[in-house]
Amino acid sequence: MVVTLQKPRLIENIGESVLVLGHHNADPDAIGAAVGVKELVSHLKPQTMVQIVMPKDISKISQMLINELGLEVFEEATLEPDSLVIVDSGGLNQLGSWESVILKQDFVITLIDHHVLDVNLVKRVDLLIHNENASSTCELVYNLFVNYGVNPSVETSKALLAGLMFDTKFFSIGDRRAFETASKLLGNIGDVSEVRSLLNVEQDISEKIARIKTAQRSTIHLLNEWLVVISKISSFQASGARALVSLGADLAIVSGSNLEGLRGSLRSTNHFYNETGIHLGEILQELSTGLDGTGSGHPTAAGYNGPISFDEFNEAILGKLKEKID
């Protein structure tokens, strides 16, 4: 049974051993949400074994957060779960090798997320805790603490606030609920600087080079008055897309291929979204079935993974954008 909830039955869906799963290249929102779920389950059902697994490549900023807070996060599971809690993941193919495991085995699955969701993932879910208008998955997880009458620890509060800060671009976006959640978490923490310092990551040389190459390889497309910039790099696609927006693009589309297929990242300005109403997460979700992949995200930030070419990806997106803008 799938429920989008006000009063969730999270604990009723937890068995004797649970894995908390996030997406590959896990960001601070995935990490914070997973840490929150683990603490809440451990508090309410202390006999249950809980392990956090972030498949494949954990992002650099998340790894620093893990190290600084002394969090226990694995890339491979070491227990046999009977239930799963998936956090901050809009599609099955964001879960690495767990995609095939979930399709083959029978788990009790809870999904907690704020992205546009892929229907293939939703079909496998027993309990859905979802609000696309939430600032972050960490906000949704904090609401679970409130609903169950549990106050998160200081370290978990820091992890939750770090995720919320990351997904709101350090409070440059977000509604009243995001700031109320941040205020309540700060009641446990003290000063916001204690969390802000956890997210200060210097770009390494490979990321700097990737961002420069993104600009060098870019092509500009003018859709009415909007500057859409496309580029190709094999890694750091999200960082490259952010770089193009900072240089003046209204919408940046950056993608590249590796052994597992194409990874694409879209970023736009808030002005572009407010004026056009074009939701990047919805664009990628609409296209993902035809592109034989999975796409999801937010109004101004979204990602795609699938087995298509660079040209096919960009042609499909530009076609959809022209439809909506015209």
CATH of the domain at 137: 3.90.1640.10
- Tens digit of each residue's pLDDT (9 = 90 or more) over 16-58: 999 999 998 899 999 999 999 999 999 999 999 999 999 877 8
Q: What is the pTM of this model?
A: 0.84
Shared domain check, 293 and 229: yes
Which neighbouring-strand residues pair with 227? 222
**Each residue's pLDDT tens digit, 75-107:** 899 999 999 999 999 888 788 889 899 998 889
Residues 118 and 176 grouped into a single domain: yes
Residues 191, 52 share a domain: yes
- Do 140 and 238 lie in a common domain? no
- Same domain? 167 vs 81: yes
Query: Looking at the structure, do residues 188 and 44 belong to the same domain, yes or no?
Result: yes
Q: Residue 210: inside a domain, yes or no?
A: yes
Whether residues 243 and 280 share a domain: the answer is yes
Structural domain of 308? 206-325
Which residue among 199, 226, 251 closes a domain? 199
Whether 293 maps to a domain, the answer reads yes
Which pLDDT score, from 0 to 100, does residue 94 have? 84
Mean pLDDT by 10 residues, the chain (326 residues): 54 94 93 98 96 89 94 93 94 86 91 88 91 94 96 97 94 92 96 91 90 97 96 94 97 91 94 95 87 86 91 95 90
Query: For position 8, what pLDDT does the model report?
Result: 62
Mention every residue, 6+ apart, whose C-beta is less than 8 A from residue 86. Answer: 20, 21, 22, 95, 109, 110, 111, 112, 113, 121, 125
Domain limit, last residue, from 199, 234, 265: 199
Task: Read off the tokens for 231.
Answer: 């580029």
Task: Indicate the residue among 165, 180, 199 that finishes a domain.
Answer: 199
Statement to judge: residues 271 and 176 lie in one domain: no
54 domain residue, yes or no? yes
User: Is residue 4 domain-resident?
Assistant: no
- Looking at residue 1, its pLDDT comes to 37
Shared-domain flag, residues 27 and 160: yes
CA distance 206 to 203: 8
Q: In CATH, what number is assigned to the domain containing residue 221?
A: 3.10.310.40
Same domain, 141 and 276: no
Residues 129 and 58 placed together within one structural domain of the fold:
yes
Any domain includes 181 = yes
Please give the tally of structural domains in the chain: 2
Residue 128: φ, ψ to 5°: -110, 120
**C-alpha closest to that of 312 among 236, 250, 232, 223:** 232
Classify residue 2: in a domain, yes or no: no
User: What's the whole-number average pLDDT of the chain?
Assistant: 92
Same domain, 166 and 219: no
Length of the chain: 326
